[in-house]
Amino acid sequence: MAMAIQIATFFHQWWYGQNSVPIKVSDPLRIGILSSAMINAAGIIRPAQTHGEVVLSAIASRDLKTAQSQAKKYNIAHAFGSYDELLDSPLVDFVYISLPNGQHGEWAIKALERGKHVLLEKPFTANEAEAWRVVEAAQRTGKIVMEAFHWQCHPASHAFKDIVSKQGKILKTHAIMTSPVGSIPSSDIRWQFDLAGGALMDMTYVISSTRFALDAAAPERVVFAHARPSPWDARVDEAMEATLVFSKGGAEGKGGEYDVESTIYADMRRSNVAGVVPRIWELPTIEVETERAVITLYNFMMPHLYHYIAIKDKATGHTQYEKHYKNSGKTGERGEEYWSTYRWQLEVFVDKLRGREPAHWVTNQSSIDQIRSIDMVYQAAGLPLRPATGDVVKR
């Protein structure tokens, strides 16, 4: 029920945005938004309203009236009728790119070359080759680009990873994310091959959560992959299941590398029970079995709404439950319990731009490994790699 928790997040952030207005610093970072996508409200607009070091400076759409309407609705200072106009504006320090998947790489490169830092929505790019081009542009320009895996910035994710690290050798993992049949209309861009659509692209979280739990790069191999094709385009997966094998380094003094088998399942048209009952309980979940326990993070994608970490001791059968909404550690308390994953993400991104040490960071190498993993699964399933915008134009 990924769509339902996304909608709940819109309301959650609207509510706290109205009641948590900070004093802005004198030299805030100025945000420009590329696109008028629905995700903008949760992904950047509401988080920016509760962060004292940023302001919403500009928004761009291919249609000026749309941009002006969004600017008025969200009190954004400037509106542009083209993405290029926004990128050329001296009124923007960094951009949030929420364009269709196939356009991520193209506009990230343009933004970097125009001197803007980039917070880039997932997936990083349409394919691995394009990801390398984005990273090269960032290195060449000296600008920062980060893939927006917001959930990784939340305290629950780090508590989960810490618990896993203390439960012995990892044996296997399983990650699942679904949306009920009918929740994503046939006209949605997620069904369009030329815009790099597909279940594994949209629900890339099943791979990112697996890699996060394992602290792993791309898998060594994909031993099984099966796609259920979309009824509108056989090149687009409406569901994907796969088994991947990752190489895990042994702990110091406890032997060398070993293999971990990980299964994933992503479904954008998940069938209802008995044909009528949506699986409302099926929230994004990652489960890790170790030598000593089975650790489950339920609703890892939007843990600010609701989550739990279940630690089942394999020896006793006892299950302990934990919840984590606020950072607590060597540096003391940080953040607020009501912060969404997107607000935590903005916190780390701003820290990075300000020269502070962020609590978490999605490295460019991790983003390359992520899209490489996706490419490997598509190839194993017999589907073509997703095309970047430039690749589509050249065909």
Asked if 38 and 100 count as a contact pair (C-beta separation under 8 A), the reply is no
Topology at the third CATH level for domain 154-332+362-380: Dihydrodipicolinate Reductase; domain 2 (3.30.360)
Residues 340, 137: Cα–Cα separation, whole Å: 30
Does the predicted model carry a pTM greater than 0.85? yes
Q: What is the pLDDT of residue 254?
A: 52
Neighbours of 333 (CB within 10 A): 9
**Which residues of the chain carry a pLDDT beneath 70?**
1-21, 250-256, 328-333, 390-395
CA distance 270 to 123: 21
Domain ranges for the chain: 2-151, 154-332+362-380
pLDDT (tens digit, 9 = 90+) per residue, 158-204?
Answer: 999 999 999 999 999 999 999 999 999 999 999 999 999 999 999 99
pLDDT for residue 226? 98
Q: Does domain 2-151 have CATH number 3.40.50.300?
A: no
Helix (H/G/I), strand (E/B), else coil: 295: strand
User: What is the per-residue pLDDT for 394?
Assistant: 43
Per-residue confidence (pLDDT) for residue 357, from 0 to 100: 95
What pLDDT sits at residue 256? 63
Q: Give the whole-angstrom CA distance, residue 361 versus residue 31.
A: 19
Q: How far apart are CA 293 and CA 316, in angstroms?
A: 10
Q: What is the pLDDT of residue 272?
A: 87
Q: What is the dihedral of CA 291, 295, 301, 305, to 10 degrees?
A: -170
